[in-house]
Structure 1
């Protein structure tokens, strides 16, 4: 296996075959193992890294026990802790999700959600936004409370200075992942003039303190050649980056469909990431990755699940639909959500798509599951009567909040 993907040629589990969970667990284990090998010569990083890897093995065993009891616990939970952000980037997920602003989870609710998630066997908690570091104090409380759990904080990087870098250096289980768009030209065009240089200042602060950190690259048809180019990779390595996360662009903002990766670019990306993983001393991970290897989309708790800023449990950041809120319902119960169950029952309908995210590309079908409209012809439930939910499906939460806008 290459970090983030099963090796080409491995048999992909068929839709409905639960072996995909073993495949995904093995992928996580190998990715964390590769990270430990990268930092093996640095005891300040390698020792906590090895502890995180041991915890992943215990967490995987806990998830397996829960699965035998009928409870599907995902290895990854994405928590958008806020909709607030100090930037207004073009094509931002936060604006694309739409809906009305609702109150953020109270600190005690957020802490309870993470406590229960890690207790159930969630291995990796991804903290996103908005800009998650606007809730910095609460974030550091979370990561200190769970020192063996890996926290990846996806941030625009502009709040990272020497003082914040000192805090991060004291929490070796948190990996800041800073958003770039590639070169200075691409980054400043989407994020604002001067942002690229400010991000290099942030990376310098982290590198000086030997913080293990990464970069997040929203990968579009426009910047594909730039972000996959070896010269760019070497530049980021010199800046101290050790994790490269390639997030395929999802056209949630109207009029941005032409930024979606072309089919040949999606195929090429898999090969590029595998090559870079062999060639460079860093991790190269794609999202959503090669979903065919897992028998379909990993959202809805198959591999990961999303918590909105107000606590709605959702299939994915790009699918703002929910029938349960974690401020009112324990996570153990919420993971049995009718909506999540329906999505997990039909993973073959959510294979990787032209839109970068299968759930977003098939959102008309997802909305049909909650009674918003009739399912498209050819999709499961396509003959359901329009105007009402299918039997047993709870209506979507009336208001949706914004998220993933870092």
Structure 2
């Protein structure tokens, strides 16, 4: 880890430590205090700023929309400003491909007191873009890897995606950015996920964190055939726990607490997703909403939303995993009960979920306690940041 840190720009390190670390911990404390007082406002948001993308990935929630949306800079600014007033300074920026959103860098610059995690496929992350991010210092690129040369093109619906993602890593680390790599683990890339050569290559190139999450069948091109089996999910959990002690890189997951029990950030209220149209969704893969940012101030919306409140009370009764995978029909019935709007942009999400078979999710894995005291402490006391997009 020291090798990667020494390659990191000092201003980027400072912004990460202060905006992300200190302010993030304070944000979690304020969130926990609100929960104890019976109030609610998420500790942080994940925001999809645009539906536009230059790829066509399997399991992507924004593909094949009837019309792409782009969030107005004014709405994005309002979300961030209102969140800061509640002590929340961390934001995950998603798409589509967020680097196709033209006002993005103006927002990063205006809110220099915040920290942003940029979810990107890497194909547009050039040297010039990396240098702009270095000067801002408050953004961590999280570059997606979906497989090797052949698998990546199939999963991503593009050409030379693997090579472009590799180049993006080099541009990012060469600029001294806090660089992460993410992998949506599925049947076609699980061997790469467990590859010692792959992980050590990331370490050698200055990547600071590696984030594993589980493929979820979402979107028009979703296929359950790629979903991990219960046995493979257990293998992934065991691998993550051991890898944290073996490799000099932060290994992130969004699914298990310090004792290995499954969790859902949306069900805990820790985070929610706002799509490019301003719809407030439980998480990116649950594409239903009863409220929009334009309806009023966020604090009142969260305080008075039966739809979001029900997720916190009902989901834990059903699963410690992902409700989309464990019981899609229950989700359909729940959204009908609350007259929730289909926010997928395809107008067929309830029908798709009704036809989808149940598959194993992270709640299927047997509890495996964290071996590292550092990860146990972080998950118990400050489970936030790079591991809460579930």
TM range (shorter): 0.7 to 0.9
Which residue does 2:373 correspond to in 1?
Answer: none
1:5-404 mapped onto 2 (5 Å cutoff): 39=5, 43-52=10-19, 53-95=21-63, 100-101=66-67, 103-136=69-102, 138-191=103-156, 192-252=158-218, 253=220, 256-289=223-256, 296-300=263-267, 302-336=269-303, 337-353=305-321, 357-371=322-336, 389=337, 393=338, 395-397=339-341, 399-401=343-345
Unaligned runs of 5+ in 1: 1-34, 372-388
TM-score w.r.t. length of structure 2: 0.79
After TM superposition, the structure 1 stretch with the greater mean CA deviation from structure 2, 329-338 or 360-369, is 360-369
Partner deviation per Cα, 1:24-68 (whole Å, 9 max, x = no partner): xxxxxxxxxxx9997378533432232131112322232234334
Quick one: structure 1 residues 350 and 330, their matched pair in 2 at CA, closer, same or farther if it must change by over 3 Å?
farther
How far apart are the structure 2 equivalents of 1:320 and 1:291?
A: 29
Kindly indicate whether the alpha-carbon contact (under 8 Å) linking 1:132 and 1:154 is maintained by their aligned counterparts in 2.
Answer: yes
How far apart are the structure 1 equivalents of 2:281 and 2:61?
A: 15
SS class of match (2:34): helix
How far apart are the structure 1 equivalents of 2:285 and 2:342?
A: 17
Kindly indicate whether the alpha-carbon contact (under 8 Å) linking 1:297 and 1:350 is maintained by their aligned counterparts in 2.
Answer: no
SS class of match (2:288): coil
1:85 Cα offset (Å): 0.3
How far apart are the structure 1 equivalents of 2:107 and 2:186?
A: 33
SS class of match (1:125): strand
Kindly indicate whether the alpha-carbon contact (under 8 Å) linking 1:292 and 1:352 is maintained by their aligned counterparts in 2.
Answer: no
1:241 Cα offset (Å): 1.9
SS class of match (1:85): coil
How far apart are the structure 1 equivalents of 2:2 and 2:287?
A: 35
Kindly indicate whether the alpha-carbon contact (under 8 Å) linking 2:279 and 2:343 is maintained by their aligned counterparts in 1.
Answer: no
Unaligned runs of 5+ in 2: 347-390
SS class of match (1:84): coil
SS class of match (2:198): helix
How far apart are the structure 1 equivalents of 2:2 and 2:32?
A: 24
1:141 Cα offset (Å): 2.6
Quick one: structure 1 residues 38 and 119, their matched pair in 2 at CA, closer, same or farther if it must change by over 3 Å?
farther
How far apart are the structure 1 equivalents of 2:83 and 2:140?
A: 19
SS class of match (2:82): helix
How far apart are the structure 2 equivalents of 1:219 and 1:398?
A: 27
Kindly indicate whether the alpha-carbon contact (under 8 Å) linking 2:47 and 2:91 is maintained by their aligned counterparts in 1.
Answer: yes
1:296 Cα offset (Å): 4.2
